[in-house]
Chain A
């Protein structure tokens, strides 16, 4: 615990060092929270013998400062991780805004969320932390910031967001010391991860154009960059001794529309994932191109009770090329991988008690993930959530089936100020 105090002190000093240039700001505010977050195994102990997927105490400080057209925002976390037994700090977000009436600019580490999916991402090509999601951490930790520049332009006919990301940031996946997962070529211990180098050619570009279209919110998306999930490249297919984990090049072309329909909200989203390194689907270790699509519908059934459904599919292009070139021993993905999701939310006691249930059901792979949760706001400052992540069925390599042995129950307890 003394380590924890040390890191809180460190963060306080860090914030104080950042403050002086903004002492003349029009207004400065500091908010944040203290949090305990624990996730215990329900099924069996972790591969490394531990019984917790996650266990931490955390403090977050958010600093806002404004000076005329400028705005500074810093969100810094310090935490003590009981699983790794270490204290750390993390700059979750840190950016500066410049705003005019016609355009604006945001430079720095920032979280960006695009697209209409609820826990399903097509045109949101920004990095995610799936370890956080599967470990029962608060939802905001599913999203990771990108280090980049966002330029917004707002002529009357269409609004534009252009994001330039010079520094590649991969997704975070569960660690094999705490999660049981499918691992192809498990005997090869020599694994090297190669992230795209930061150079002009590798700079990621993401563009979103959006406007109102007859009462519907319409968006067009474009992305040029990389898959954020690594592909495996063994030095030899028959007798591999070394595996390189690399991030293959990707472009995405997408669109979405959302609006009121049939007494609820209807969402449609689609995207074509152009796997530029493997356009004919013949490279076995590089993802094939895909068409991804989503249909969503949500509706309030009675006061404070909402139901939401989504149907999501990934349709693989050049499937025959994939089948022909897939090395033996590797699981064969289906041409169409589809998922149905259900979300039920009921608020009670003047919206201070929330009962929610989220579930993924894969129709093609037969696996599922269930997330029941109860959240209660004890006061305007203190809330707690208790929930579970339950995985199962399907196959030992499928998205949720491979997580079958990782069921966990979690607690999130937070004091916000």
Chain B
């Protein structure tokens, strides 16, 4: 009888553990869902992006572009980006195209209108600054989930403002992500990921000495065609006091962008219906 009871206990605890595993997410799963929510929502996406680069002394520079994105294959898979620049004046009409592949370097092309030339540009470093801002290419188009080890540190509530409803604090997973490669500019990152919509509400990057040097906040979230979308975000460099504020206007999903847009033809002559 005692023997049977202990077998039952073991069975019960195994079942309990199994069910616990079935319902709780691992750090990696949370980050994967977050990437899907942040970078892959919808079949395609369009926004007018206004980036304000603000120096420590308060000098402001503006980068304004239309960004078009289309997913190819499964979530977390290949994506293509098309960007058309309105500002600053010396890059007006410039277009930029990125084919993003998981676990492989991007293909990037730049069109220089003054001489009507399309050029491929070297792109193996996704940690480089995007158009001189505090955002990197990875901040704009996502980082491979497999590049870091992700663990859930704790769960906590994060401030009231970013929630879609504008009310109440959001329950968040707090994730610590440690790059597997040694040559990455941060030694670890702490992210606060909303348990409801899986958007990152806050990110902190720590350098090799363990000091916080770069901080991201999602400052406005709007629901567009049912997709919660970060429409205002700020990245601050705490070491040099520089910051970049990015606002998405005219954001829209599932607008039927053709595959053919992502081609040299349209890089040279961007269709008005997509860039306006």
Contact = CB atoms under 8 A, between A and B. Distances in A.
Contacts of A414: 90
A303 B87 contact: no
A383 B61 CA distance: 13
Interface string A338-372: 00000000010011100000000000000000000
Interface in A15-45: 26-27, 31, 33
Contacts, number: 99
Contacts of B132: 347, 350-352
Interface size, A (range): 35 or more
A414 to B, nearest CB: 8
A112 interface: yes
Interface in B139-167: none
Contact of B125 (A27, A210, A303, A352): A303
Interface string B112-126: 001111001111110
Nearest to B63: A380
Given A215-B107, A416-B90, A159 B263 contact: yes
Given A113-B117, A352-B132, A299 B122 contact: yes
Contact of B89 (A99, A347, A380): A380
Interface string B66-104: 000000000000000000000111101000000000000
Interface stretch (A2-10, A49-57, A256-264, A323-331): A256-264
Contacts of B41: none
Given A66-B272, A143-B115, A352-B61, A260 B107 contact: yes
A210 B242 CA distance: 43
A97 B61 contact: no
In this complex, which of A27, A110, A380 has the most chain B Cβ atoms within 10 angstroms of its Cβ?
A380
A405 B87 CA distance: 41
B89 A381 contact: yes
Contacts of A260: 105, 107, 123
Contacts of A381: 88-89
A259 B122 CA distance: 10
Contacts of B121: 265, 298
B124 A300 contact: yes
A159 B89 contact: no
B265 A159 contact: yes
B264 interface: yes
B22 to A, nearest CB: 40
A398 B61 CA distance: 46
B218 to A, nearest CB: 22
A303 B127 contact: yes
A110 B116 contact: yes
Interface in A351-406: 351-352, 377, 379-381, 383
Contacts of B271: 99
Interface residues of B, number: 36
Nearest to A93: B116
A235 interface: no
B122 A306 contact: yes
Contacts of A222: none
A259 B109 CA distance: 11
B129 interface: yes
B116 A383 contact: no
A139 B61 contact: no
B62 A300 contact: no
Contacts of B129: 303-304, 350-351
In this complex, which of B89, B242, B265, B276 has the most chain A Cβ atoms within 10 angstroms of its Cβ?
B89
A298 B110 CA distance: 14
A142 B123 CA distance: 27
Contacts of A380: 61-62, 87-89
Interface in B1-43: none
B120 to A, nearest CB: 5
Contact of B115 (A33, A111, A299, A300): A111
A400 B64 CA distance: 42
A7 B260 CA distance: 43
Contact of B264 (A159, A265, A377, A383): A159
A350 B134 CA distance: 8
B87 A152 contact: no
Interface string A194-210: 00000000000000001
A140 interface: yes
Nearest to A380: B88
A309 interface: no
9 shortest interchain CB distances as A-B pairs: A351-B132, A416-B89, A380-B88, A140-B114, A113-B117, A350-B132, A300-B122, A263-B124, A303-B128
Given A217-B264, A258-B120, A379-B61, 10 more contacts: A66-B272, A113-B116, A113-B117, A139-B114, A140-B115, A159-B263, A298-B121, A300-B128, A351-B129, A352-B132
14 contacts: A26-B272, A27-B276, A31-B89, A99-B269, A99-B271, A111-B115, A140-B114, A215-B107, A259-B120, A260-B105, A264-B122, A265-B122, A300-B125, A379-B61
